[in-house]
């Protein structure tokens, strides 16, 4: 078919645009993805030995307070009533996270009231009160006091960045959540849950419209196919959700990212850790956390003889690695401004999604921003002939 619109990337951003363009405007849409599957980083698959759904690119928990996004995603899947909670190991003990009254009372071996705890943390944070912290370490101490910072934040953050927090900019954190009650729900959003039949079923449903043609194992920059950059830019409108620096052949330099190495293991035990996510807050354990995906779906009838776990090791990405979290140094921000100018001048191509904008986006943010792009740019272009920019 001849496409009216070409979309590069079948993650939530690209598929939301594709679905809306096909169902709302009747457009013929070609979606290409260089991977062998749809869904971008939200893709999940069944681990063969256990039958357990594994999130291939890291744990994905859906949550949102955006009514429009919630209504939209419910067209394609129902959600379980899963509520995300995280625990962390420090010096051989398991604590409830994010830091809340249970964490504080266990850590200080106390039974503080909310008011007592607030006063204590304020006193401890007073160590650096009135100073202007120049690194993440001092900022952390100023926010929540040295004892809690050193136990729960310092080494975990150091492992995430492979850098001593004394050498990290203070600006990486603006606040550290401390709850002076026993609420240990990880997310504060109005809606939360996991897709009942898994991420891939949800994602495939979004791509189901007969006007959507998905082509996998197809790289936009590979000239051997009919929807390559060379062949479509300037001829067919394009929504590009790949890395923005790659699109411009890295002319302004490489944007830097952190990545995660996942070490997956099947264990001959029904339940390894009793919960889905266990952080390792101390420096002597090289990984940041262990995910046990069976706990994302307690309602499923998974086998009880084996389980699967994933250890996560965080590091700076090199060329060829999966880009996960923007590092966002001052140098990166300068490069990004140049790429934004280039993108604005690239008529007939819209840049979106986490890679196309170099921004960490949760799933609901990627979907919300795709819906806005559709309303504000794509619909007006195809209905009223406004410029595609």
Q: Catalytic amino acids? A: 175, 179, 258, 289, 312, 360, 362
- Measured in whole angstroms, the distance separating CA 382 from the mean position of its chain's CA atoms is 31
Q: How far is the CB of 93 from ligand FDA (least distance, A)?
A: 26
Selected binder of ligand FDA within 3, 136, 143, 363 (CB under 6 A): 363
Long-range contacts, 322-326 (Cβ 8 Å, 24+):
322/41, 322/57, 322/259, 322/260, 323/243, 323/257, 323/259, 323/355, 324/41, 324/57, 324/58, 324/257, 324/258, 324/259, 324/260, 325/257, 325/258, 325/360, 326/255, 326/256, 326/257, 326/358, 326/359, 326/360
Query: What does the per-residue mask of binding to ligand FDA show for 198-237, with x meaning CB under 6 A?
Result: ---------------------xxx----------------
> Residues 288, 300: contact at Cβ < 8 Å?
no
Closer residue to ligand FDA, CB minimum distance, 208 or 322: 322
Using DSSP's 3-state secondary structure scheme, residue 296 falls into helix
Return the beta strands (E) in 131-209 as ranges: 191-193
Selected binder of ligand FDA within 355, 371, 373, 378 (CB under 6 A): 355
Residues between 30 and 69 with contacts to ligand FDA, criterion CB under 6 A: 32-35, 40-42, 57-62
Q: Binding to ligand FDA by residue 8, rule CB under 6 A?
A: yes
Q: How far is the CB of 104 from ligand FDA (least distance, A)?
A: 26
Residues between 284 and 313 with contacts to ligand FDA, criterion CB under 6 A: none
Question: Tokens 């996991």 correspond to what residue?
Answer: 194
Q: Binding to ligand FDA by residue 241, rule CB under 6 A?
A: yes
Query: Encoding tokens for residue 127?
Result: 């160590």
Q: How far is the CB of 355 from ligand FDA (least distance, A)?
A: 6
Which listed range, 94-102, 125-133, 155-163, 351-359, lies at the site for ligand FDA (CB under 6 A)?
351-359
User: CB within 8 A of 383, min separation 6: which ones?
Assistant: 25
Closer residue to ligand FDA, CB minimum distance, 52 or 317: 317
Q: Binding to ligand FDA by residue 361, rule CB under 6 A?
A: yes
Q: How far is the CB of 128 from ligand FDA (least distance, A)?
A: 32
The 10 Å Cβ neighbour count of residue 196 is: 15
Nearest-CB residue for ligand FDA: 40
Q: Binding to ligand FDA by residue 324, rule CB under 6 A?
A: yes
> Residues 282, 153: contact at Cβ < 8 Å?
no
The β-bridge partners of 289 are 279, 312
Closer residue to ligand FDA, CB minimum distance, 145 or 243: 243
Which listed range, 10-18, 283-291, 293-301, 332-340, lies at the site for ligand FDA (CB under 6 A)?
10-18
Residue 238, classified by CB atoms within 10 Å of its CB into exposed (0-12), middle (13-18) or buried (19+), is buried
Residue in 179, 176, 184, 186 with CA at minimum distance from that of residue 125:
176
Contacts with ligand FDA by CB under 6 A: the residue count is 35
Using DSSP's 3-state secondary structure scheme, residue 133 falls into coil
Q: How far is the CB of 265 from ligand FDA (least distance, A)?
A: 18
Residues between 366 and 385 with contacts to ligand FDA, criterion CB under 6 A: 366
Which listed range, 6-14, 127-135, 248-256, 328-336, lies at the site for ligand FDA (CB under 6 A)?
6-14
Q: How far is the CB of 149 from ligand FDA (least distance, A)?
A: 24
Bridge pairing between strands 93-97 and 86-90 = antiparallel
Which listed range, 91-99, 165-173, 206-214, 362-370, lies at the site for ligand FDA (CB under 6 A)?
362-370
- Find the helix or strand (DSSP H, E) in which 339 lies: helix 330-345
Which listed range, 70-78, 203-211, 248-256, 360-368, lies at the site for ligand FDA (CB under 6 A)?
360-368
* Gap between the Cα atoms of 164 and 154, Å rounded: 8
Query: Encoding tokens for residue 162?
Result: 């492979």
Contact residues: ligand FDA, CB under 6 A: 8-14, 32-35, 40-42, 57-62, 219-221, 241-242, 260, 324, 353-355, 361-364, 366
């Amino acid at each position: 078919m001849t496409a009216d619109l070409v979309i590069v990337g079948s993650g939530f951003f690209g598929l939301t645009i594709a679905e809306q363009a096909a169902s709302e405007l009747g457009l013929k849409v070609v979606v290409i993805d260089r991977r062998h599957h749809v869904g971008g980083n939200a893709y999940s698959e069944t681990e063969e030995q256990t039958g357990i759904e594994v999130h291939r690119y890291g744990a994905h928990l859906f949550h949102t307070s955006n009514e429009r996004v919630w209504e939209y995603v419910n067209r394609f899947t129902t959600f379980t009533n899963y509520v995300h909670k995280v625990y962390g190991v420090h010096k051989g003990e398991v604590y409830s996270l994010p830091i809340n009254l249970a964490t504080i009372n266990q850590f200080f071996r106390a039974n503080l009231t909310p008011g007592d705890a607030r006063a204590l943390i304020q006193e401890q944070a007073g160590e650096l009160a009135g100073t202007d912290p120049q690194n993440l370490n001092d900022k952390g101490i100023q926010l929540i006091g040295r004892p809690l910072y050193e136990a729960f934040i310092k080494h975990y953050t150091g492992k995430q960045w492979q850098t001593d927090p004394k050498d990290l900019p203070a600006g990486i954190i603006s606040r550290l959540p401390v709850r002076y009650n026993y609420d240990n729900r990880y997310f504060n959003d109005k809606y939360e849950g996991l897709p009942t039949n898994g991420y891939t079923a949800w994602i495939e449903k979004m791509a189901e419209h007969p006007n959507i043609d998905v082509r996998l194992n197809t790289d936009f920059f590979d000239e051997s196919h009919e929807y390559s950059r060379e062949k479509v830019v300037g001829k067919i409108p394009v929504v590009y959700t790949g890395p923005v620096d790659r699109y411009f052949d890295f002319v302004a330099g490489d944007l830097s990212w952190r990545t995660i190495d996942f070490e997956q293991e099947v264990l001959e035990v029904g339940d390894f850790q009793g919960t889905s996510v266990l952080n390792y807050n101390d420096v002597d354990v090289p990984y940041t956390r262990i995910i046990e995906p069976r706990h994302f779906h307690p309602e499923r009838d998974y086998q009880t003889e084996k389980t699967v776990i994933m250890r996560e090791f965080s590091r700076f990405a090199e060329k060829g690695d999966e880009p996960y979290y923007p590092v966002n140094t001052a140098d990166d921000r300068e490069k990004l401004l140049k790429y934004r100018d280039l993108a604005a001048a690239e008529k007939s191509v819209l840049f979106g999604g986490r890679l196309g904008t170099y921004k960490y986006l949760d799933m609901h943010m990627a979907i919300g921003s795709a819906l806005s792009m559709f309303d504000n740019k794509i619909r007006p272009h195809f209905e009223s002939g406004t410029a595609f920019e």
